[in-house]
Structure 1
């Protein structure tokens, strides 16, 4: 069983990715703990739900501990009520570009206007195909972690002080 998540994150420049999305679904998530050393997340998506524990990342921000377990939807709904203030609501689009699958998250609520693409990797040196709709890489920038967006939403960022 593997407990390491390796991923790269990018800001998205345009909605062009939607033309190539082969699937999309709504996600609501809350955090029982948003401390970067031990994030505990509850996620609901349709009729599925999970609890996820994430550890602190390596120095590059490329990989970190991740453990996940599926939950009964009623359990997840009850746990969401215990979460810290600041839920994350988003639509996730799955977009295949060459050999790379991107999960593109379009955020709502206090994070409206933020769109982030993630590519999960098999290894830290794996090459990925970069589509033209991707912008700046934000891998390892903690302000873009969902747990941090729940505490300091995108709408609170001053454009001249963005991470």
Structure 2
């Protein structure tokens, strides 16, 4: 299970009490890039974490700095191939970007995905999220086709080594 410490941050599994702070964080990051918060659409999975992540064999985590929620990330199984998941809702507050936290979080997620027997990771993003585009490309996610989320225009794929 993804859980741990990085610098002054704590990464832990999501609880129901995180629903509102996680939604606020994601909405604020989207607003930063003039993208809409869509709780009945593209962001419904954050409103219904149990249904989309927990009950499907995925997982959802939050990052805290002290008592403040500063990040989110999750994944759930998808049918885009054998043993595939989609990485979702990897957002960090602007105040905590640039310290290596995103890389640490991604590495923890990839390790958990691999531990659970999945091999292929898909992630959708938008070109306007230039930092995210660079981040995924830097971490060996390869451009692909088949975007399914209306506000996204890019999709990436990464195959993990077999264990």
Q: Normalized against structure 1, the TM-score is what?
A: 0.31
Query: Which structure has the highest helix share of the two?
Result: 2
Q: Normalized against structure 2, the TM-score is what?
A: 0.31
Larger RCO, structures 1/2 (Cα 8 Å, 6+ apart): 1
Query: Which structure has the highest strand share of the two?
Result: 1
Q: Give 1 or 2 for the bigger CA radius of gyration.
A: 1
